[in-house]
Amino acid sequence: MKAIFIAYNQAYNQEIVELLESCGQRGYTVWEEIGGRGTEDGEPHLGNHAWPTQNHAILTAVPGDLAPVIMDRLRETDRENPKLGLRAYVLPVEDAL
């Protein structure tokens, strides 16, 4: 089992949720209205008067063979929408209930 952590511009929440669902992934946990700044050239998303945009983040636990499928779809989405501010990380899940 793998966990995928996905951070992205809040405006794209529906697209990210639909991407997961189209891959057959139903379950996830979402954090709304979080701040951050990209490491390369992205604008800050801090939810303040200077940088009003914010991010959302999703954590989803998936079967190991589904993780590369979702990551490929996320890469494709990132290429098509460079302003999305999309970042995704696959992490091992050692135990789960």
Q: Please report, for the domain that includes residue 63, its CATH number.
A: 3.30.70.120
Residue 97 maps to a domain: no
Residue 33 maps to a domain: yes
Give the tokens for residue 76: 């494709």
For 72, 75, 76, 84, the CA distances from 79, given in Å and listed in that order, are 11, 6, 5, 9
pLDDT for the residue 56: 94
Residue 63 maps to a domain: yes
> For the segment 30-43, what is each residue's pLDDT rounded down to a tens digit?
999 887 777 677 77
Cα distance between residue 51 and residue 37, in whole Å: 10
Residue 10 maps to a domain: yes
Residue 24 maps to a domain: yes
> For the segment 73-91, what is each residue's pLDDT rounded down to a tens digit?
999 999 998 877 899 999 9
Residue 40 maps to a domain: yes
Q: How many residues comprise the chain? A: 97
> For the segment 40-70, what is each residue's pLDDT rounded down to a tens digit?
777 777 777 887 788 899 999 999 999 999 9
Residue 9 maps to a domain: yes
Cα distance between residue 63 and residue 58, in whole Å: 16
Domain that holds residue 73: 2-92
pTM value is 0.89
Q: Which of 62, 44, 61 is nearest to 53 (CA)?
A: 44
Q: Which H helix or E strand runs over 78?
A: helix 67-80
Domain count, the chain: 1
Q: Which residue has the tokens 């700044």?
A: 37
62, 6 Cβ separation under 8 angstroms: no
